Each structure stands twice: as C-alpha cells, then as structure tokens.
Structure 1
Amino acid sequence: MTRNVLLWASVCLFNVVTLVAPWDPDAGIVKSMTKLSGVQVWATSNNDSAHKVLDNDDNTQWTSNNCLPMDYISRSDQNILYGLCPERCHSNNPQDQDLDKITDGMTITATKINPWTENVRKASFQIILPESTIQVLSIWGIYKDNTKVITVDGSGHETDIRLLNVTDSYHEIRINNLSGVSVLKIESPHDFILKEISALGTKGCAERIVIDLGQVQRIGVVRTRHWAGAKAAVSAKLVMSNDQKVWTTVKELVPDALGAVETVLSPPVEYRYIAVDYEVFSANYRHVYCWEIDAWGEHSKWGPVPTPVPQENTVREILGVNGIWGWGHNIYSDSITAGEGPYLYNQISSHARNYHNLNWDVLDPDFSPRFEQMAKSHGTNATWWLNWDREYSTWQKAGLYVDVSLQFTAKDFPESSWNTPERSAFQYGEEFASHFGQAIGNGFVDAVEVGNEPWDYHSGFYASLLKAMASGIRAVDTNITVLSGAFQAHDENADNPPSGNYIGTRVKEDAIGNVSVLNTHAYSFISTENGQRIATYPENQSSTFNSIRNILRWRDTNCPSKPIWLTEWGWDSDGENEACKNSECVSENAQALYGVRGLLMITRHQIQKATWYFYANLDNCDTLFCRSGLTSSKMHNFTKKAVFQAFETVLQMIGDKYFLNVFKEDSGGYVYLFGQQMNNPDATSNKVKSFEKATHIVAWLPVDAANTTSTSITMDLPRAVNVLNGWRITGATPPKLKATEDITVDGSHMSLNISSRPLIVEIVHPDHAGEIVG
C-alpha cells in the first residue's frame, strides 16, 4: 500500500513538472506576423491564389492575371477610362444614346455614333482624358469608311494619329505612348460603332498584393520572395499603410530577385497593411508572381539577444576544428610528417570532429560493422583496409578531444535499405560504444553524433533512428557524449527532404534523455537586394549566424541542462594562392576578423564547443565551402591562412580566459569582458561582480571588414583599473599590432578607439601591480 501511495505521488509530481514545463517542439520559433491568427490577404487580380503568399512555402505563388491584351479593360484600377462615359464623353449628335457602353469595360457592348445633320456628313465622338500621358490606348469599333483618331493638346491643337478603315473593324487598335494629350476624338464621314475605348495611364499595368495584419504592428524586418518572373515587371515596391488610402514606400525592390530578400526597417515602423506593388511590362500576356511575405519585429525571426551568462569554458576549450581521416594527406595520421595533421591543428584546437562515414563501416545498415575484426587489422564490413583505432588514437595523442560525426544519408542508405531500422540503429550504437567508448571500449572517442546533416530522411524516420542509436550507445556506455545530428530551431517549414533540418520534428521528447548535447550548424549568410546569397559579418542583424538564438531558446524550454555545440561555422575566403570564386566568399582578411569576432560572440552565447569548418581548403574545388580552411590545401602545403594566425594570437592573449559579461552590444560597438571563471555563474551575475574577475576587455565595431571607420567610445567602469597592454587583431600579417595609443584610462573612465579589428585590452585592478598606459 505504501508502495502504491509513493508511486501515485511520483506520478502526480511528474504531472506537475510536465504542466510547469511542457515539451514544446516549436520553442525556438519567432512566428511571422503574417502567419498570426486573423491575418487576411487579397490581390488586385486572381484573388483566389493570393493565400499562397502566406502558406509557408517559397515554391508556391500568387500569379496575377495578364494585364494585356484584354484583362485591364474591365479593371478600374488599371483602365483610366473605365466608367468615364457619359460624364466626360460627347457626341456631335445629341440623339446618340448609350455612350456609357464605350467605357464600360466590355467589348461585347456597343454604341453607334451618327452624323448630326444631312448637310454635315460627319460623325464625331470625343472623350476628355483624365491623364495627359497614355502608355497604351485601345479602340474597338466597326467602321464603314475612313475614320480618323485625333488627339487634342492643352492649347487645342489637333493631331491626326491614326486612320481607320473597314479592315480595322472588330479588331483592337492599339496606340502606344501618347503624351501631352487632353482630349481624344474619333471622326468619320459616316456613322460608326464604338465597342470600347480603354487606356493605361502613367501607372501602366499595376498589380498589388495586400496583407492585413488585423492591427497596427511594430515592424522591423520584412521578408519577401517577390520574383516577378522573367521580364515581367518594370519595378516592384514594398509599401505600407494604416488606412489603405495613404501608402508609404519603404523599399524599392528588385523585381528580378530570384531568392527571398529581407528588408530591414531601422528604426522599426508601425503599420497595419503590408503590400508589394508591381508595375508590369506593357506587353501582351505578361503577369507577375509573389511567392511569400513574412514580417517580424526588430529582432527578426531570430528573436532578442539572450541575457549574457558567464561561460563555464575557456576560449581555448571552446574552439575546435573539423577534420577528416588523414587530414588531407590520404594516409593514416600516425604516418603523417611531424608537425602536420592533428599536430598542426592542435595549435589552436582543443577538439577535432571527424566525418565518420557509415558506408565505410557497413555495406548495409542492417549489418554489423565488425569493429573487433577491424582492431585486428582485418577492416570493417565495408572497407577491408580501414582501422579507425589508428586514426583516433593519434588524434588523442595530439591532445585533441575526439568528436565523431556518424555520417549517413538517404543517398547512401535509403530508408528502404533499413530492413529493421530501430533494431539496426540500436545494434550499431551498441557496437560503436562497446568498441570506442569510455566505459568498456578503448576510449578513443569522446563524443559521437547520430548523423551529421541527415536532412534527406523523413523526420519520423530519423527520429526513430536517433532514439534507437542513442539508446544502443547508452546501453553500454553512460560516459560518452551523445549528440543528435545538426538541426536548426528557427524554421519549422524546413521539414521535408532533402532539406529537412528542423529540430522540432527530429529530436523528440522520448529520445532526449539519451542525448547529452544539442547540435547545430550556423554560417553567416544574407541575401542581397537581388536575392543572391552572400557571406556577411557575424553581427549583421539579418545574418543566419543569429540562428544560434533560436536553438538556445529551444534548449532553454525543453532541456535546459544540456549544452549546445556549434559543430560547423566559418567563412570561405581566398588566400595562400588559392582563389575563392563563390558569391559567399570573403577576403582573407575578412575571414580572419569574422572568425575572431564570431568566436567572441560564440563564447557570449553559451556555446560549449564551436568547431570551425574546415581544417584546410580542398584541392581542385571551387564550390561553396571549398575555401573555408584554416590553411591552404595540400597543393600549397597546408600553409596557415590569416584566420589560423588570428586564432593563434587571440588564444595567446585570452585562450585561458572565460567570457564574463557584455559591457556594450549595439551598432556603436561591442565590448565584452573576459577573465577568471565566475563562481556559480548564472544569468543574474551583474557587471560589478563580473568586472571584479575581468582581466581583459575586448572591443570592436560590428561592421564589414572592408569598413575602415573607427570611433571612440567612453565607458564608466564599475571600478578603477590600470591598463597593462593593448593589442589590435589585424586579420593580416602581422596578426596583431600594439594599440596602447587607442586606449585612454582615467581611474574608472576608459576611452577606446574601436574599429572592425578587435581591440584586446589587458587590465589589472589597483590592488595588483601593473603599469599604467594611456
């Protein structure tokens, strides 16, 4: 009975905890304002497809109707003559009736224009035009004899612009590009019939798609995939309104931008209606597209920057590198020349990550890898010559913490090839941990990832593999660190292969207990105004590097005790005689500066490990990530690039220090504190407490590396300090320059001259010895 009471109490306690902190697979999402309840959308034409700009799918679209040749005539928003008759129309025969049919937007109705008297054999019709500039004038009629089309300017001067005859009957007569016109006249010696007259004015073929947010919202970022189609639009504009009467253009868009574009509104603006306006080319059968429209507040889809928390890991402990079997030498690492391979990259890396291909271990995912035979130099099930023990033991001897990313994809092992997916995944995990793990294995592997980027599997299938493989690992080893594959938490629509990388559907509550660490990748990309993806500096408000924030929020909600590893990040650059040709390339100097600044931001964002991609450039390769190396390729002897030297320099100065706090973090400058580890660090640690532990201040401007701007900032410090030294990271050769002249200190007042190149200031508190500079 007592046991039952205790069991019941435990269940109740579990339920209470569950209610307090329920699992939320979408905890990282910052929902677009356009996807909130009550939002409506409509368009100037083909309104039935307007909803597609809100369907979370960049590959579906609203398509306008064809303005020309015929659609515009029945639309009052395009046809400037629509409904003008009879008020602005006149016939010289007062008995002529139904003049309204001439501008009623229908070519199936008609009005006969008759001569006025027997003596004056002339039938005449005129219409006063609302605009003096006409892009397209269209006339439909039936003619018995020569019929003149005449324009009249503001001074009454008449110009014959077209002579119609019987062969023009029933056809559209189109006249383009009239200017300075106030009246249009049509005259004939005989009666004639006008079926319709229509015109496009200065606005031409205009289309608009409108989103009603339901209420006024504070808008900081608008994302549009507004590609209008090939040679479809003259212009496109992002416009906003609060009453649909007065519209403000907030951005001139590039209608040919193929990819999605983000418009940052700084400062944010307050509007209820968001629209995209298109001016369509005045040609037959031209229409425009709009694919998706999203809007967020000033922090975009990334959400606000998290509260700074003192790090529990030093800068050196955080930084690692992505490697590969043999480190590009195509031989085992224990056969590489001294000072190369793991003994080169360990100069700046505390850990190394290997892409451990599952298809090197097994021919079929249901087979055993035969690691015990591999250890006896008989190879694995799939690779006769392979011995991972030789490789990983050498990495460990080089002082590297070894992280193995088990790389398997549907391309190599389709879902159909896993006959017993859960049992096979469990078995592989169990055998891997038994051989390489810390508990009963040889201990050559410290961490294992269940997939690198297994994004081409369906979410449910991968989730079952993760649960089973992590369970298999844990069945024999509770010490080894287990990670999921690398996923993101900001886009719930990225759920389908081959780009299914959303964590909410792949890392589930029933598996998280056996997962030690969350895994994500974050590169720093933005889209230009023409929709082209380029690399950018890590602090850029629109940069995808900010996706770290979303994974942090997801973690804080669902598994707050688990660390996060950023297992891929970096930039591509030229350097060391190896060109970089992609749109995502940056200069070698920028790669170095962004690498250092990115690392500083990573330490501030509670990331436990950050693994640079890649150890070296790749030979004979010019696609994305081929030039992301810390060194050149084998072809150029793995020469250290500027980013390698920059990391070396930073680690020499603050490698054994911990991030403590943010002193400043805005467009005017980033200022971080580093120093001794805080006791019992938490988010409530204030600047005074963290400053007491500070040994270094690091400051820089969050701008493009090519920006040579410098600015002076002044800070009131919590207490007086002395400055021991000051260095600026150059991102070039030499990697640092003395910068004491950029530092002025007067007790607790400090002024720094900062730029895109980080300034590292070594300080000491007055109760310690130190030379004062500045």
Structure 2
Amino acid sequence: MLRFIPCLFALAAALHAAEPAKPDAKPAPLFRDFVGLCGHTVNFKPDLYYPVCRWVRDYHPVPWDLGDDTSKLPDWPFAKNKVSWEKIYGSWHAKGLRISVCFQIDNMQKDWKNMTADAHAYAKSFAENFGPGGKWPYVEYVELGNEPGLYDDPSYRTIFEAMARGIREGNPKMKIATCNIETGKSERYWKGTDSIKGLEDLYDVLRVHRYAIAKQWPVWSRSYPEDPAVPYLSRIQELVHWRDANTPGKPVWVSEFGWDAAEKKPDPKGEWARWEDSTDEDQARWLVRSFLLFSGMNIDKAFVYFFNDSDEARLHHASGITRNFEPKPAYHAIAWMLKSLEDYRYARTIKASLEEGYIYEFTPEKEGAPVIWAVWHPTKNDVTASLDTKDMSLQKAERMPLAKDASTAIEVSGAEGKLSLTLSTDPTFLWLAPAPK
C-alpha cells in the first residue's frame, strides 16, 4: 500500500528522537484527546471500544448517502441506503466518544453528476445537520477524502475546495481535515502538499498515514516503530516540519498506523502466499510505543488502524485490535496505556537511544499528582538501566499487559534518587512523586 523509501542509518538519532518543543509551542494534548481508533459505521461497537479510545475516525461512504444521483441530497438523518446516522453517530456520542468523519469519495470520481456543485451542496448539508450546533450535533471534524489517489491533483483540488467551502458556509464550527497528505509529489495513496497549496484557510488539520513496512510486495513485512531502516517516524516528521514552515499552528494527525497480526496462515498457493504478519504481542507493544513516540513529535491525535478484523491473512486485513470482536493483546495494552495516561500529557524526552533505550516524561493535568515516566527498549529485554530520578520517589511501577486482568506490577530496586530497571520491549510506567523532605 505504501512505498518504501530507504533511510540512512547515519540519521537514526534525528529520525527517532522526539524533537524538543519550541519555547512558544502549545502544550501537548492530554492523552484522552490524543488516542483514536479507526472504525467503520454499522459494525463499530462503542461499548467495546470506549476503553481503548476517546476519538473515533469513521470511514463514511458518501455513495451510501448520495446513491445513483449525486445531485439530490438524502433525507437526513438517513442515507439513501436507509442507514440512520442519527442512530449510529448518536450511540457513539452517547458513550462519550468524539467523532471525525472521513468522506469516502476515493472511488466515485466518475459518479458525480456535477462534481463541483454536488460536492459543495452535500458537504454543506452534512455540516449543517451533523456538525456542532446542528440538528444531530455529533460530528466535530470532516476529512475530505481518505486516500484519493485516483483523482488527479487538479480534480482533487476542485472537490476539496468545493467541499471545504460548503462546510465553511454550512457550519463554521465544524473543522476540516485534509486527505492523507505527504511532502513531495502525489502518489496512489496520498496527495502531495502542493495539491492544497494556497488553500490554508479551508482546512484546520493535516493528516498522514504511515506504516512501518520493511519489505514491500509480495511480503509486506513490518518492523518496529523506532527502526531507522523504515520510513515511518521520519516521513511523519517531514510533514510536521512542512507544517511548521508553511501553516504554523495547524494540527497534524497520524490518522492511520498499525500492524497486521493474524492467527491464520496465508494460502500457500494463493496471491498472499509470501505475506508476513506480526505477532499479536508485537502488534500490542509497537502500537503502544507508537503512541508514546507520536506524543513527543508535536502530533495532535493518532488513530490506530483498525478496530476489528476477521483474521484474514492478507495486507491490512488482520490489523484489528479485536479479532471477530474478541480483544487481542493490543486491546488490553492500549486500554492500560489510556487508563494510565488519559489525564497526562507529554512533557519531555529524557532519553531516546536505539542502544540505551527510551524515557519519556508525562505530566498530570491535576496539580500534585505524580509524573509518569514511560521506559522501554526498542529491541532488547535484558538491558539494565540506571535511572536518575533526583528528588522524586517511586510510588509504583507497572509493565504493559498483554491479557485481560494480567498482573502489571513490577519490582524496581534503588535508593537515593537512583532506580535500577531491566528494560523491556514492553513499556514500563513509573509513577514518581516529589521525595519527602
């Protein structure tokens, strides 16, 4: 799905250490506003997924809404195929989930009766009805396309501008996000930043999809997130740099990232015979570590792809954090991370080393609560680290769980502001409070 762009190993430190925040930068988001999940309309179960996200990114099929005649608007809150958005989005909203809708226009470029007029009217009407203050005020963001590479750049720019102006007219409170955007030229699965140049007043968020793909077709194997040989963090950081230089202050979202993890094996005689997935355990640890890494990269939100899978042994078809709606280890790991950090925000990177490990500090929203250090090693489980906690004392230590009700408490030795910890590829959280005087 995504091209492979070789990275220079000599640049590893620059690619993988979170860059320090600028002195005038706004604070990082609280984790409850940071952790998202990609879902899909009628199959999403808000009660099941609330423990692992506070934001849902929904793939909203525009053909469901408009049917065969794009010039005629649906009878809201129903799509023309009779799906009730009031029922679906209302149930998510009632659970406390916040919603970003991704307009799925990617495969309908030949279906518009009048693309400019119809797209404008549709987006305006949707925003009026479902945006903040609307009749069914459940949707806060609209994303203008997912991966619309089948539109050439002029066509995407036309539909982007039509929809964005429609949303701005219909409901100025609704926020607008781009499709999957990267620096450089447009490709099959993303648009280059030049495609929206000059339209800065028509979008509020830049979105990027990234997967840590180590080998392309027909293998599609993935690596760990800190791996300097894959264009994962590096390509995201390039978009952040572009944002800082061209549209300072606009949020960047990593709106898709993930790892396939299947129990089934591919058909040895089929087209996916050489496909390689990740283990359930690697999927869990790499997703959690990605959230931690993204939090230090001036990213505003990150959305795991995907919510559920049916255990299909093929690319992007085993990426769910549930399998047939039964939690995988990734589900339990993310739920633990979110519960621990939901009222915390990234504060600083204490260490980011492929050899010595990573230490990120998170500070609490509530005054007087302990800080949390997230500590892990990208590749090893037997590295002993000495942590200088200075004037802080350890309240508790937990290691990421891989199963429901798994024990997370671990023992950490040390005294007088020094802790000794054996690092793991599964992150450890340390709750540290000011030492008694």
The TM-score, its normalising length taken from structure 1, stands at 0.51
Q: What's 2:237 paired with? A: 549
CA contact (8 A) 2:361 2:372 kept: yes
Gaps in structure 1 of 5+ consecutive residues: 1-258, 269-296, 329-340, 680-691, 769-774
Counterparts of 2:420 and 2:39, CA distance in 1: 41
Mapping of 1:422-501 within 5 angstroms?
422-489=116-183, 492-493=184-185, 495-496=186-187, 499=188, 501=190
Alpha-carbon spacing, 1:732–1:389, altered in 2? closer, same or farther (3 Å) = closer
Mapping of 1:295-310 within 5 angstroms?
305-308=18-21
CA contact (8 A) 1:728 1:757 kept: yes
Match of 1:610 among 296, 302, 322: 302
The answer on 1:342 being equivalent to 2:42 is: no
The answer on 1:399 being equivalent to 2:96 is: yes
Match of 1:731 among 402, 406, 419: 402
Q: What's 1:515 paired with? A: 203
Mapping of 1:284-363 within 5 angstroms?
305-308=18-21, 311-327=27-43, 341-363=45-67
The answer on 1:628 being equivalent to 2:319 is: yes
What is the CA-CA distance between 1:570 and the residue it aligns to? Answer: 1.2
Counterparts of 2:16 and 2:416, CA distance in 1: 38
The answer on 1:600 being equivalent to 2:270 is: no
CA contact (8 A) 1:459 1:500 kept: no
Gaps in structure 2 of 5+ consecutive residues: 267-271
Counterparts of 2:141 and 2:43, CA distance in 1: 19
What is the CA-CA distance between 1:754 and the residue it aligns to? Answer: 0.8
Q: What's 1:159 paired with? A: none
What is the CA-CA distance between 1:622 and the residue it aligns to? Answer: 2.7
Q: What's 2:221 paired with? A: 534
CA contact (8 A) 1:573 1:588 kept: yes
CA contact (8 A) 2:141 2:176 kept: yes
Counterparts of 2:17 and 2:30, CA distance in 1: 25
What amino acid is aligned across from residue 130 of structure 2 in structure 1?
F
CA contact (8 A) 1:731 1:757 kept: no
What is the CA-CA distance between 1:541 and the residue it aligns to? Answer: 0.9
CA contact (8 A) 1:574 1:585 kept: yes
Counterparts of 1:714 and 1:261, CA distance in 2: 36
Q: What's 1:721 paired with? A: 392
CA contact (8 A) 2:359 2:373 kept: yes
Q: What's 1:118 paired with? A: none
Residue-by-residue CA offset, 1:409-447 (whole Å, 9 max, x unaligned): 2x3332xx4453322222111111111111444212111
What amino acid is aligned across from residue 631 of structure 1 in structure 2?
T
Match of 1:652 among 326, 339, 362: 339
CA contact (8 A) 1:439 1:476 kept: no
Number of aligned positions between the proteins: 424
What is the CA-CA distance between 1:505 and the residue it aligns to? Answer: 2.8
CA contact (8 A) 1:452 1:486 kept: yes
CA contact (8 A) 1:484 1:519 kept: yes
Alpha-carbon spacing, 1:429–1:464, altered in 2? closer, same or farther (3 Å) = same
Q: What's 1:710 paired with? A: 382
Q: What's 1:662 paired with? A: 349
Which structure is larger by alpha-carbon Rg, 1 or 2?
Answer: 1
Counterparts of 2:143 and 2:207, CA distance in 1: 8
Match of 2:213 among 525, 531, 543: 525
Counterparts of 1:604 and 1:746, CA distance in 2: 29
Counterparts of 2:92 and 2:350, CA distance in 1: 38
What is the CA-CA distance between 1:674 and the residue it aligns to? Answer: 1.0
CA contact (8 A) 2:372 2:431 kept: yes
CA contact (8 A) 1:405 1:450 kept: yes
The percent of aligned pairs where both chains have the same amino acid is 23
What amino acid is aligned across from residue 516 of structure 1 in structure 2?
D
Residue-by-residue CA offset, 1:98-149 (whole Å, 9 max, x unaligned): xxxxxxxxxxxxxxxxxxxxxxxxxxxxxxxxxxxxxxxxxxxxxxxxxxxx
CA contact (8 A) 1:262 1:527 kept: no
Mapping of 1:578-597 within 5 angstroms?
578=264, 583-597=275-289
Counterparts of 1:665 and 1:312, CA distance in 2: 18
What is the CA-CA distance between 1:752 and the residue it aligns to? Answer: 2.5
Mapping of 1:179-218 within 5 angstroms?
none
Q: What's 2:109 paired with? A: 413
Q: What's 2:269 paired with? A: none
Counterparts of 1:559 and 1:262, CA distance in 2: 27
Alpha-carbon spacing, 1:735–1:548, altered in 2? closer, same or farther (3 Å) = farther
Q: Of Structure 1 and Structure 2, which has the larger fraction of its residues in helix?
A: 2
Alpha-carbon spacing, 1:263–1:359, altered in 2? closer, same or farther (3 Å) = closer
Q: What's 1:573 paired with? A: 261
What amino acid is aligned across from residue 246 of structure 2 in structure 1?
N
| Matched residue SS, 1:425 | helix
What is the CA-CA distance between 1:261 and the residue it aligns to? Answer: 8.1
What is the CA-CA distance between 1:459 and the residue it aligns to? Answer: 0.9
Q: What's 1:757 paired with? A: 426
Alpha-carbon spacing, 1:391–1:744, altered in 2? closer, same or farther (3 Å) = same
Counterparts of 1:449 and 1:263, CA distance in 2: 30
Alpha-carbon spacing, 1:500–1:573, altered in 2? closer, same or farther (3 Å) = closer
CA contact (8 A) 1:463 1:508 kept: no
Residue-by-residue CA offset, 1:233-284 (whole Å, 9 max, x unaligned): xxxxxxxxxxxxxxxxxxxxxxxxxx9784755xx4xxxxxxxxxxxxxxxx
| Matched residue SS, 1:725 | strand
CA contact (8 A) 2:207 2:252 kept: yes
CA contact (8 A) 2:98 2:138 kept: no
Counterparts of 1:524 and 1:553, CA distance in 2: 20
Mapping of 1:267-282 within 5 angstroms?
268=10
The answer on 1:744 being equivalent to 2:414 is: yes
What amino acid is aligned across from residue 729 of structure 1 in structure 2?
M
Counterparts of 2:290 and 2:33, CA distance in 1: 15
| Matched residue SS, 1:726 | strand
What amino acid is aligned across from residue 419 of structure 2 in structure 1?
M
Q: What's 1:374 paired with? A: 76
| Matched residue SS, 2:116 | helix
What is the CA-CA distance between 1:351 and the residue it aligns to? Answer: 1.2
Residue-by-residue CA offset, 1:687-724 (whole Å, 9 max, x unaligned): xxxxx986111110012xxx5x311222434x311111
Task: Quote the RMSD (CA, aligned, Å).
Answer: 2.8
Alpha-carbon spacing, 1:733–1:544, altered in 2? closer, same or farther (3 Å) = farther
CA contact (8 A) 1:630 1:641 kept: yes
Match of 1:502 among 184, 191, 204: 191
Alpha-carbon spacing, 1:652–1:364, altered in 2? closer, same or farther (3 Å) = same
| Matched residue SS, 2:399 | strand
The answer on 1:559 being equivalent to 2:251 is: no
Q: What's 1:193 paired with? A: none
Alpha-carbon spacing, 1:608–1:724, altered in 2? closer, same or farther (3 Å) = same
CA contact (8 A) 1:311 1:677 kept: no
Alpha-carbon spacing, 1:699–1:303, altered in 2? closer, same or farther (3 Å) = closer
Counterparts of 1:394 and 1:298, CA distance in 2: 44
CA contact (8 A) 1:311 1:604 kept: no
Q: What's 2:327 paired with? A: 640
The TM-score, its normalising length taken from structure 2, stands at 0.88
Counterparts of 1:442 and 1:733, CA distance in 2: 36
Alpha-carbon spacing, 1:662–1:418, altered in 2? closer, same or farther (3 Å) = same
What amino acid is aligned across from residue 191 of structure 2 in structure 1?
Y
Alpha-carbon spacing, 1:476–1:366, altered in 2? closer, same or farther (3 Å) = same
Q: What's 1:123 paired with? A: none
What is the CA-CA distance between 1:311 and the residue it aligns to? Answer: 4.5
Identify which of structures 1 and 2 has the higher relative contact order when contacts are C-alpha pairs closer than 8 Å and 6+ apart.
Answer: 2
What amino acid is aligned across from residue 349 of structure 1 in structure 2?
C
